[in-house]
Amino acid sequence: MRHEIIQVRDLSAFAELHPAWTRLERESRCHPVGLTYRYAELAAAKLLAEGAKIRVIKVCDDAGLALLWPLFIRRKGWVRMAYDLRCGGGADRGGPLTRDDVSADCLRAAIRALMRAGADIFVLDWTDDDTELQKVISNWALPWIIRRLPARLRAAGGSEGARRYAIKFDNFPTWGDFIASRSRAVRHGHDRQLKRLLAEQQNVEFGWCQTAEDAEQILKWVFESKRRWAVERGIDAGTLIAREIEAFYIALAHRTDLRATPLVAFVKVGGRPAAASLNAVGPTLMEGLIIAHDQAFQRYSPGTLLLHYQAKWACETGREFDMLRHDADYKTHWATHMPVSRRHAIFLASNSVRGLTVFIGLAMHKLGELCARKFGGAIRSVTAKAEDIAGAPDGAEALAKDRGRA
C-alpha cells in the first residue's frame, strides 16, 4: 500500500490529475457528483482564488490507483483546518473517490497520509453510520488529552447525526412496482393534484433545463425564492443558499453538457416556473440539493409533483434518488433507505501537547466567533430600532430624544 500527498498550487497542477481521476471515476460504481473531476476542478479554482491550500491524497495498491481524496486547508486563528474539497454549501457527502473494491487498509492509509497534509484538524463531511469509512474514522486513535476532553467541545457541527432520506430502486423492477409500494394517500394525493393542475392551467411542462442559459435563469429563481422563504420564516438556511454557492452552480451549468448530465428540473406553467430544483446527477446517484416553488401555485403542491417526476426519472435511468438530510413528512413517505449521517472532527496532532495546543486555539476561535455574532446582533438590533423610529411620523424628533436618553 503506497500513498502520497500532492500539493496543488495552481489549476495547471490540478489538471495533471485529470487522466487518473477520470479513470478512477469509471471504476467507482456509485459516487457523488462532488467527487467528479469537473466539479472538483471548479471548486479548486474557487478556493485557490480565496487563498486556500489544496491537497490531494493518492493511495495505490497492487492493482493500481485505489483512492483519491481532494482536500483544502484554511486557517481559523492559528488552527489549520482541512475539509473535503467541495463548493462549501454544506450539503455534500464527505470522503474520497475510491474503487469499488477498496479495502479498510486503503482507507487507513489515507488517514495516515492526512496527518502529513499540513493540517491540525480534519472535518469529514456527512458520512453514513456503518460504512467502512465511518468505522475507520470512529476507531482512529486520538491523542490522550483529546480523548479526555468533553466530546461536545471537540466535536464538529453535525456530529450528533441527522437522518438521510433516499429512494433505492434495487428491489423494484419498474416504476410501477415502486409506486405501488407507497401508501394509497401518497399515490392518490399526487394524482389528484396533477389532474387539478392540468385542468386549471395551460401549457404545463415538466422537464430538465437543456441549455446553460435556461439553467442559469431557473437557478437564480430557485435561490432567490429559497432565500425569501427563509427570511419570511426567520430560518437560518445555512450556506447552501448563499450567493457564492449560487454562482458556483451557475458556473457548473455552463461547464456541463446538460443534455447528458442534467442539473436543474422544473415544473413550468405558461413558461413560468411553478417549482424547480437543483440536483447533483451522477451515473448511478442523483442528489436533490434545493427545491423551491411559487406560492401562487401552492394549491397544486408543485414541489411534490416535481419530486414525483424526478423520482420516476431516477428510477427509469437506473439511479438512486437521495433527498439528503432534514426531516420532512414527504421524505418519509417516499424514502426506502434512511441511514443516520454525521460529520466528524479528527485531530491530526501526533502527541497530547500539540493536541492540547490545537484544542485551545480552536476554542479561542469559537469564542471569538460567538462574541462577534452576539455583538453583531446587538448592533443590528439598535440599527433596526433607529430605522423604525426614523421612518415613523415625527421620527427624526423621536430619534433625537432617544439618542439624548442614551
Distance linking the first and last C-alpha atoms of the chain: 69
The structural domains of the chain, with segments of one domain joined by +, span 2-162+342-370, 166-334
Distance of CA 326 to the CA centre of its chain: 12
User: In the prediction, which pLDDT does 345 show?
Assistant: 84
Tell me if 324 sits within 8 A of 335, measured CB to CB. no
Tell me if 145 sits within 8 A of 355, measured CB to CB. yes
Find the farthest-apart pair of alpha carbons in the chain and give their distance in angstroms, rounded: 81
CA–CA gap between residue 20 and residue 28 (Å, rounded): 12
- Residue written as cell 448511478? 284
CA–CA gap between residue 331 and residue 81 (Å, rounded): 33
Angle at 28 between CA 100 and CA 331, to 5 degrees: 95
User: In the prediction, which pLDDT does 390 show?
Assistant: 47
User: Per DSSP, what are the bridge partners of residue 285?
Assistant: 320
User: In the prediction, which pLDDT does 399 show?
Assistant: 33
- 3 state DSSP class of 379: helix
Note down pLDDT in tens along the chain; length 406 residues. 888 999 999 999 999 999 999 999 999 988 999 999 999 999 999 999 999 999 999 999 988 999 999 999 998 877 888 999 998 888 888 999 999 888 889 999 998 898 888 888 899 999 999 899 988 888 877 777 777 777 766 667 788 889 999 999 999 999 999 999 999 999 999 999 999 999 999 999 999 999 999 999 999 999 999 998 888 888 776 777 889 999 999 999 999 999 999 999 999 999 999 999 999 999 999 999 999 999 999 999 999 999 999 999 999 999 999 999 888 888 999 999 999 999 988 888 765 656 667 667 666 756 766 676 666 555 545 554 444 544 444 544 443 443 333 3
**Strand pairing category for 264-269 and 204-208:** antiparallel
Give the closest residue to 29 by CA, choosing from 318, 338, 288.
Answer: 318
Cβ-count burial of 336 within 10 angstroms (0-12 exposed, 13-18 middle, 19+ buried)?
middle
Residue 186 host element (H or E): helix 184-200
Distances in Å between the Cα of 45 and the Cα atoms of 95, 106, 152, 283, 400 are: 20, 28, 34, 24, 50
Domains 2-162+342-370 and 166-334 belong to one CATH topology:
yes
Residue 294 host element (H or E): none
Give the closest residue to 166 by CA, choosing from 383, 272, 23, 314.
Answer: 314
User: Tell me: domain 166-334, CATH 3.40.630.30, correct?
Assistant: yes
Tell me if 289 sits within 8 A of 89, measured CB to CB. yes
User: Per DSSP, what are the bridge partners of residue 265?
Assistant: 208, 277
**Strand pairing category for 320-322 and 285-293:** parallel
User: Which cell numbers hold the place of 89?
Assistant: 454549501
User: In the prediction, which pLDDT does 118 show?
Assistant: 86
Neighbours of 317 (CB within 10 A): 12
Tell me if 119 sits within 8 A of 81, measured CB to CB. yes
Give the closest residue to 130 by CA, choosing from 342, 366, 319.
Answer: 342
Fold of 2-162+342-370: Aminopeptidase (3.40.630)
Angle at 312 between CA 309 and CA 315, to 5 degrees: 150
User: In the prediction, which pLDDT does 356 show?
Assistant: 66
Q: What is the pTM of this model?
A: 0.85
CA–CA gap between residue 94 and residue 128 (Å, rounded): 10
Residue 27 host element (H or E): helix 18-27
